[in-house]
């Protein structure tokens, strides 16, 4: 698996050429787009005072009002409230087990979790504890976790220690939880990453892992529990990034053909480089952490961890962002390099509520389609537990874009 740093370097390469452009459109209030035409230009002194997350100097911005209509939403949108302590406790049996994980995960998918409850819920979402485990069983698991973690320390991790230390001391240092010298929390982060690198040598450590670990540790506040939540998270993240870039782009292209055909036509007309959709890969590799605030990022993570109807919800989030914010790309006929610049300038300005509503609506529509391209069959796979008992029989159409040595498994049935 290529290092995250190598893939990110490729994604950022084109962006570096545009650091001096004066027509980057960003701002704090409203949703911001990039425009070559100086339409609705405003002074951005206020934005500069607050500090921009964009690598481009703040010069101009255009405010638009992206929307998602009711017809685009999942019919169950708005029916669930944020999972509270009361709701959580009402589903726990006397022995601490939870039989109805279906309803619990569905509520989290639609409405997320009370932040004060995350420390207790995340180990279930990340499969540290089975939903049906009792308090006594979870205590045994915790003891086993502690022993296994300590044993991992006895192995040799000298080869990755320097790389980990270098990244840890630069990760989220502006946050009080990790600020200052001799911070025990940064020590805990280093220990977790070293243990992970030795326990999973086939993956080891790659740049970017510390960015994913930091929110887990600052939420759970327990080194062994955080370690195993991180293991669960990386198992899911490895699924995301182990798919070759070409394969991930293929999924996205097929989804764009279905849900945002105008945008797909635009990038297709730009040529093969544009069809790689390089602006998306940073989103997925770092689980949207660089695109949203931490509060919003955790909301996105929880939604993905539920595995509701698919284990690839992160792709529907990407398509949702393009669907909501890609209109200006089409209207102004932006070339490939400026598309990368445009979406990069949106970092920290995206509306997470709109994006998730749209993504859930897209997934709902996806599951209602009578026919799907064979290349998207894997996206229909969800958790082992069947969530939708009314799933209709689908017809898969061969796209005829397989490798020559890769026969289509659906060719005979079409």
Taking the C-alpha atoms of residue 58 and residue 152, their distance in angstroms, rounded to an integer, is 47
Provide the pLDDT confidence category of residue 238 given band limits of 50, 70 and 90.
low
The answer to whether residues 217 and 264 belong to one domain is no
117/234 same-domain check: yes
Where does a domain end: 176, 207, 240?
Answer: 240
φ, ψ dihedrals at 60, nearest 5°:
-140, 160
217 has a pLDDT exceeding 70: yes
Distances in whole angstroms, Cα of residue 408 to Cα of each of 213, 311, 374, 379, 401? 39, 22, 8, 16, 9
- Whether 165 and 296 map to the same domain: the answer is no
Q: How many domains are there within the chain?
A: 2
Q: Where are the alpha helices (DSSP H) in 260-326?
A: 261-270, 272-275, 278-285, 294-305, 313-325
Same domain flag for 190 and 316: no
Q: Do 229 and 345 share a domain, yes or no?
A: no
* Contact partners, residue 145, CB within 8 Å, separation at least 6: 128, 224, 225, 227, 228
- Gyration radius (Cα) of the chain, Å: 22
d(C-alpha 142, C-alpha 223), whole Å: 11
**Domain final residue, candidates 207, 240, 273:** 240
Tell me: do 110 and 188 sit in the same domain: yes
Residue 1 has pLDDT above 50, yes or no: no
Same domain, 227 and 250: no
For residues 395 and 211, the model is more confident at 211
Task: Write out the residue range of the structural domain in which residue 337 sits.
Answer: 245-368
Contacts of 250 (CB under 8 A, 6+ apart): 375, 401
Separation CA 8–CA 4 (nearest Å): 6
- Nearest of 63, 127, 73 to residue 101 by alpha carbon: 127
Query: Domain for residue 231, yes or no?
Result: yes
pTM for the predicted model, two decimal places: 0.80
> Is the CB of residue 366 less than 8 Å from the CB of residue 377?
no
- Between the alpha carbon of residue 20 and those of residues 43, 142, 281, the distances in Å are 18, 52, 23
Of 133 and 159, the structure prediction assigns the larger pLDDT to: 133
**Is residue 234 domain-resident?**
yes
Percentage of the chain modeled with pLDDT above 70: 71
For residue 334, tell me if it sits in a domain.
yes
Q: Residue 158 falls within a domain, yes or no?
A: yes
- What does the pLDDT average to over 391-397? 68
- On whether both 352 and 293 belong to a single domain, the answer is yes
Cα three-residue angle 22-24-28, rounded to 5 degrees = 125
Q: Which of 351, 368, 385 is the last residue of a domain?
A: 368
Above 70 in pLDDT, residue 38?
no
Nearest residue to 345 (alpha-carbon basis) of 60, 56, 67, 21 = 56
Partners of 154 in the β-ladder: none
Arithmetic mean of pLDDT, 127-142: 91
Domain membership of residue 392 (yes or no) is no
One domain, residues 227 and 261:
no
Instruction: Please indicate, yes or no, if residue 19 is contained in any of the structural domains.
Output: no
Same domain assignment for residues 329 and 213:
no
Taking each helix axis as running N to C, give the angle between helix 118-125 and helix 209-220, from 0 to 180 degrees, rounded to the nearest 10.
130
Instruction: Indicate whether 3 belongs to any domain.
Output: no
Distance CA 14, CA 147 (A): 47
Question: Using CA atoms, how far apart are residues 122 and 217, in angstroms rounded to an integer?
Answer: 11
Confidence of residue 371 (pLDDT cuts 50, 70, 90): confident
Counting Cβ atoms within 10 Å, is residue 158 exposed (0-12), middle (13-18) or buried (19+)? exposed
What is the C-alpha separation between 376 and 370, in angstroms, rounded?
A: 13
pLDDT band at 208 (very low <50, low <70, confident <90, very high): confident
How would you class 98 by CB atoms within 10 Å of its CB: exposed for 0-12, middle for 13-18, buried for 19 or more? middle
Same-domain status, 262 and 323? yes
4 inside domain: no
Q: What is the mean pLDDT of residues 1-25?
A: 43
Report the pLDDT value the prediction gives residue 381, as an integer from 0 to 100: 67
What are the tens digits of pLDDT across the range 355-364? 999 999 999 9
DSSP letters spanning 167-187: HHTTSSTTSGGG-STT-HHHH
Together in a domain, 221 and 251: no
How many Å apart are CA 147 and CA 107, to the nearest integer?
A: 34
């Amino acid at each position: 698996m290529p290092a995250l740093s190598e893939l990110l370097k490729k994604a950022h390469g084109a962006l570096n050429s545009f650091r001096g452009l004066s027509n980057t459109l960003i701002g704090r209030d409203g949703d911001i787009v990039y425009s070559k035409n100086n339409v609705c230009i405003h002074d951005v002194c206020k934005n500069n005072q607050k500090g921009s997350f964009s690598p481009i100097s703040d010069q101009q911005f255009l405010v638009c009002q992206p929307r998602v209509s009711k017809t685009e939403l999942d019919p169950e949108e708005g029916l669930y409230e944020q999972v509270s302590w009361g709701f959580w406790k009402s589903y726990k049996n006397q022995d601490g087990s939870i039989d109805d994980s279906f309803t619990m995960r569905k509520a989290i998918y639609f409405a997320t979790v009370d932040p004060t409850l995350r420390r207790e819920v995340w180990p279930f979402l990340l499969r540290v504890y089975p939903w049906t485990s009792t308090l006594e069983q979870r205590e045994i698991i915790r003891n086993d976790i502690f022993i296994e973690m300590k044993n991992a320390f006895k192995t040799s991790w000298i080869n990755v220690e320097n790389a980990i230390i270098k990244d840890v001391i630069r990760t989220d240092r502006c946050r009080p939880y990790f600020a200052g010298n001799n911070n025990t929390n940064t020590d805990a982060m280093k220990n977790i990453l070293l243990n992970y690198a030795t326990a999973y040598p086939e993956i080891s450590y790659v740049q970017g892992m510390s960015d994913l670990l930091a929110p887990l540790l600052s939420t759970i506040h327990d080194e062994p529990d955080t370690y195993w939540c991180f293991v669960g998270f990386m198992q899911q993240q490895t699924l995301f990034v182990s798919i070759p870039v070409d394969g991930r782009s293929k999924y996205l292209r097929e989804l764009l053909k279905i849900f945002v055909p105008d945008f797909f036509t635009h990038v297709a007309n730009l040529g093969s480089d544009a069809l790689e959709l390089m602006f998306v890969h940073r989103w997925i590799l770092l689980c949207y952490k660089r695109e949203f605030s931490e509060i919003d990022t955790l909301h996105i993570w929880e939604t993905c961890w539920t595995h509701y109807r698919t284990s690839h919800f992160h792709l529907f989030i990407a398509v949702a962002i393009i669907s909501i914010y890609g209109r200006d790309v089409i209207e102004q006929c932006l070339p490939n390099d400026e598309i990368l610049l445009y979406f990069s300038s949106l970092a920290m300005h995206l509306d997470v509520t709109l994006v998730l509503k749209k993504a859930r609506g897209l997934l709902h529509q996806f599951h209602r389609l009578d026919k799907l391209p064979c290349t998207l069959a894997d996206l229909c796979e969800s958790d082992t537990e069947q969530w939708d008992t009314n799933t209709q029989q689908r017809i898969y159409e061969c796209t005829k874009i397989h490798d020559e040595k890769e026969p289509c498994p659906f060719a005979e049935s079409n």
